[in-house]
Amino acid sequence: MATDSKERARADAALRDFERFRSMADTAPAMLWITDSNGECTFLSQEWRDFTGQDEAQGLGAGWLEPLHDDDRASIDAAFAAATTKRAPFNLEYRLRRHDGVYRWVIDSGRPRVGNDGAFLGYVGIVIDITERKQK
């Protein structure tokens, strides 16, 4: 019974930590995301949802690729897959469709997440609109 109690306490603490993270991520002035070790998107912040118009479920898994410009989608998917295979950090620039149908240039920067045991857990990343910078 003590083991069940400890497991429950750990689960409750993990849930509180995630809710704190979600609150922070959803108020950040940038699009934040997380993947699992297979490269499947498991979290997209409110800013992503507001920018793209995707609801929470639409962008998860590989759904985040849908609002990418058709000319960019295959190369970005391949670059992300290659980074995931190597477990390497990456910076990608591509056009992302905003909720109003307008494509904007973004930079997508991801860094590997590693567990306490050194195991690759996936990525954490940020997407920032750089359209004005690209137009200069």
pLDDT tens per residue across span 64-122: 999 999 999 999 999 999 999 999 999 999 999 999 999 999 999 999 999 999 999 99
Q: Is the dihedral of CA 41, 58, 51, 71 positive or negative?
A: positive
Would you say residue 25 has pLDDT above 70? no
Would you say residue 5 has pLDDT above 80? no
Question: What is residue 49's predicted lDDT score, i.e. its pLDDT?
Answer: 95
Give the Cα separation of 94 and 75 in Å (integer): 9
Q: Are 112 and 88 in contact (CB under 8 A)?
A: yes
CATH fold, domain 29-135, is Beta-Lactamase (3.30.450)
Give the Cα separation of 114 and 108 in Å (integer): 19
pLDDT tens per residue across span 58-76: 999 999 999 999 999 999 9
Would you say residue 1 has pLDDT above 70? no
